[in-house]
Structure 1
Amino acid sequence: MSWEDDALCRTVSPDEFFPELGGSASYARQVCELCAVTSSCLAYALRRGEKWGVWGGTTPQERMAMPGWRDS
């Protein structure tokens, strides 16, 4: 069992976590605020250098500014 099995986003359309350019990430962030595995999700995204979508309640721009983000 991994953190992904407990992720609340599994119950929501993936489209909510990958808004179009200029679209809102607010609904995805609300889901992340209620999720028990947000820290693990964010760590995963930072390790992988995720350039798209909302991960751990953060946007790509926010992650790129964080220590630990790597450009893959």
Structure 2
Amino acid sequence: MKTIGNIARLPLWQQRELFLDWVDRAECASIRVDPAIFYPPNRKGAPGFDRINAAKKICHMCTVSEQCLAVALKQDEQYGIWGGLTASERRRLP
């Protein structure tokens, strides 16, 4: 599998192709699921743990979760669950 470092060396058009190719194979796109579960409420108190857990369960079954996470990291995605990680979990990655 290609890593972020290797992908960054490719021409931009190839990077886009690699990053978008996974979308159609994503588990979240292939099952009937409300996309809102990937964007739990962001308010003080309970941050929608049920939604977070439901989204993570789908991500953990997904065969392209690594690509999904790579895109979120590359784009510095600030919201939602991508590749099985919340925004705060992604910020803690090295």
TM-score normalized by structure 2?
A: 0.68
Q: Aligned letter for 2:72?
A: A
Query: Percent identity over the alignment?
Result: 40
Which string of whole-angstrom CA distances, capped at 9 and with x for unpartnered residues, describes residues 29-71 of structure 1?
000010000000000000000010000000000101113xxxx
Unaligned runs of 5+ in 1: 68-72
| Alignment correspondent of 1:34 | 61
Please show how residues 1-72 of structure 1 align to structure 2 within 5 Å. 2-10=21-29, 11=31, 12-21=33-42, 22-24=47-49, 25-67=52-94
TM-score normalized by structure 1?
A: 0.87
| Alignment correspondent of 1:70 | none
For CA contacts below 8 A with separation 6 or more, give which structure has more relative contact order. Answer: 1
Which stretches of structure 1, 4 residues or more, deviate above 6 A after TM superposition? none
Compute the RMSD of aligned alpha carbons: 1.1
> 1:15 and 1:37 mapped to 2: Cα distance?
20
- State the structure with more CA Rg: 2
Q: How many residues align?
A: 67
